[in-house]
Structure 1
Amino acid sequence: MRVGRIRRRCKRLIKELGLPSSTDLPGLCAIVAERVGRPVHLVPMSLGGVVSGMTASTDDGYWVFYELRTSPWHQIHIVLHEIGHLLLGHEQDPAVTEDALRMWTPSMDVTTAMRRLGMTPGFARHHCYDNLTERETEVLGTLLMERVVPTSADHGLPLRGRAAELAAALGPALRHVRDTGGTAGTRRAPRAPGSGGGGGGARV
């Protein structure tokens, strides 16, 4: 698909969303939730350098995890990439989810792991998209970035409720991948302009 066609599709999608001229990430998530029919939750946490962003799908919504220890603009870039996959309807093969979970929880049965995490097969939804879908998502994210501004800095307030449960479950898995030198199928996306360093939007 040509870049011009991708841009036109993304611009149409943004127009359909009815975004205000300026919003923040929580405001955007509320609008996206109406579009995708499920709540979209933001979960800032330290991802230990394994990934910079990932999306988990559970029965009670989508959970976008993004790196806490980076600049506000880089955080926006990470989240918009994840949200872009949701808006563009990029689905993931459940078999890929199982492969990722096998690497993350090698001593646990995959079905048991998913049940304990309360996650659906969309858990590893960004594990191995092809170049076209990644390009499409980057275009949409760049266009959305024109409408989204940072909120006040998040200094790592303790997570609560469901977000805390999911973060606690992911922590050991991320440490396992880092300590064993595994990649869990992650790939580095281009660095966000003005991000101040660090990889941008790696997918799981």
Structure 2
Amino acid sequence: MNVRKSFRALCEERLRELTVPHPFEITAFCESVSLTRGKPLVLTAAPMTPTADSCPYGLWVGFDHADHIYYEQNTSPLHQAAIILHEVSHILLGHPSDVADLAEMLPDVDPAKVRYWLSRHTGLTVPTTQELQAELFSTLILERATTTRSRSRRTG
């Protein structure tokens, strides 16, 4: 099995473990992820100014006691949901992070207490494997929400 197919199979397996609300609503989905992980998942809209190459659309900061997702507040609700799902996908896929750059972006956060952090930047010319995986997984979550909703409408 090639790498893409094996990753897709991993995504499908993880999807079976998730509760995807119908109709899909991002905060309800995040609440179910929070319950599954056993710690709060805090969503915060922030002006992230994603016009600069160094500024992300979204950011996940994971602590032992909670996960925090920051997302661009000055964009459409649909885009906000996509950003949040992308960051949640990093969490669910267990992507590792490098806290070295965190102090520059969030100077008020103690890097010693951060367990994970990943951000989604503008200006990436070649996306990393983790970014591609998070995009695929978040797309599959939305596909599942849409497909299940469509099926229930046909049968109901």
Same fold (TM over 0.5): yes
Task: Note if 1:16 corresponds to 2:9.
Answer: no
Q: How does 1:1-204 map to 2 (within 5 A)?
A: 2-49=3-50, 50-92=55-97, 96-101=98-103, 103-104=104-105, 113-115=108-110, 119-122=113-116, 124-126=117-119, 131-146=128-143, 147=145
Q: Which amino acid aligns with 2:7?
A: I
Higher relative contact order (CA 8 A, sep 6+): 1
Please tell me whether the aligned partners of residues 59 and 118 of structure 1 are also in contact (alpha carbons under 8 angstroms): no
Q: Share of identical aligned residues, percent?
A: 25
User: Does structure 2 conserve the Cα–Cα contact (< 8 Å) formed by 1:36 and 1:87?
Assistant: no
Q: 1:67 to 1:119 in 2, by over 3 A?
A: farther
In structure 2, the residue matched to 1:175 is none
- Ranges in structure 2 where 5+ consecutive residues have no aligned partner: 122-126, 147-156
Q: Which amino acid aligns with 1:125?
A: L
Distance 1:69 1:60, change over 3 A: same
Residue 74 of structure 1 aligns with an amino acid whose one-letter code is: H
Displacement of 1:118: 8.8
Q: Give secondary structure in 2 for the equivalent of 1:53.
A: strand
Q: Which has the higher strand share?
A: 2
**Distance in 2 (alpha carbons) for counterparts of 1:5 and 1:134:** 17
Please list every run of 5 or more consecutive structure 1 residues that lacks an aligned counterpart in the other structure. Answer: 149-204
C-alpha distance after superposition, 1:54-92 (max 9, x if no partner): 012235411111011111111111111100000011122
RMSD of aligned Cα (Å): 2.8
SS class of match (2:56): coil
Contact 1:84-1:140 at 8 Å conserved across structures: yes
- Output the amino acid matched with 2:8: R
Report the CA distance between 1:139 and its aligned residue.
0.9
State the shift of 1:104 in Å.
4.2
Q: Go from structure 1 to structure 2 and tell me whether the alpha carbon gap of 1:29 and 1:66 turns closer, same or farther (over 3 Å shift).
A: same
